[in-house]
Amino acid sequence: MNPETKAMLETAVEANSRVNDVLCGHLTPEMMGAVTPGGGMTVGQHLAHIAGTTRFWLLQLDEGAASPLPILYDDTRQDAFVAQEDPARAAQALRAVWTAALHTALSAEGTGHLSHPSTGQFLLHMLAHDAHHRGQMLLALKVNGFPLPDEDAMWGPLRGE
């Protein structure tokens, strides 16, 4: 991967992590149970899902890098998706998962068992995935009467602020 692409991916991942930090910093334990319309996932489940999915794909690239990463749901349950409800823990887990994903993707010799043509495309896919679920979480907060995070704080990192 050329240096310009690496720098762009590092910047994008750091901005994404800062947005996740703002969102998690805004959340309260009560907000973690807000559900998207139509019986979708809770905010806590969305956070667990985005960390878990990034971790899952990272396992395909480098099992050793992914296996020690935190999991935000009860992985002993087969009958239900039970997510933890501590926003600070979610923020820490997301940071850990993204730090490992970036480091591993940028240093990987190949694509392992990824179904992505390159590690850069893996990172871009996961960034889009985070953004999709952040939108779902904001919708869940809004329709359940919770305040939304400050827009400038939330989106400033993606604008380079």
Count of alpha carbons within 13 Å of 57, Cβ hemisphere only? 27
Residue whose token pair is 């690239």: 61
Q: Residues near 123 by Cβ (< 8 Å), separated by ≥ 6?
A: 9, 12, 13, 101, 102, 105
26 marked as part of a ligand binding site: no
Tell me the C-alpha to C-alpha distance, in Å, between residue 62 and each of 100, 111, 112, 128, 144: 10, 9, 7, 21, 39
Spatial contact of 98 and 18, defined as CB atoms under 8 Å apart: no
Q: Is 49 annotated as a binding residue?
A: yes
Distance (Å, whole) CA 70 – CA 68: 7
133 labeled binding residue: yes
107's enclosing H/E stretch is helix 87-107
Which tokens in the block code for residue 114?
Answer: 């990824």
- Known binding-site residues for a divalent metal cation equal 49, 129, 133
- Known binding-site residues equal 49, 129, 133
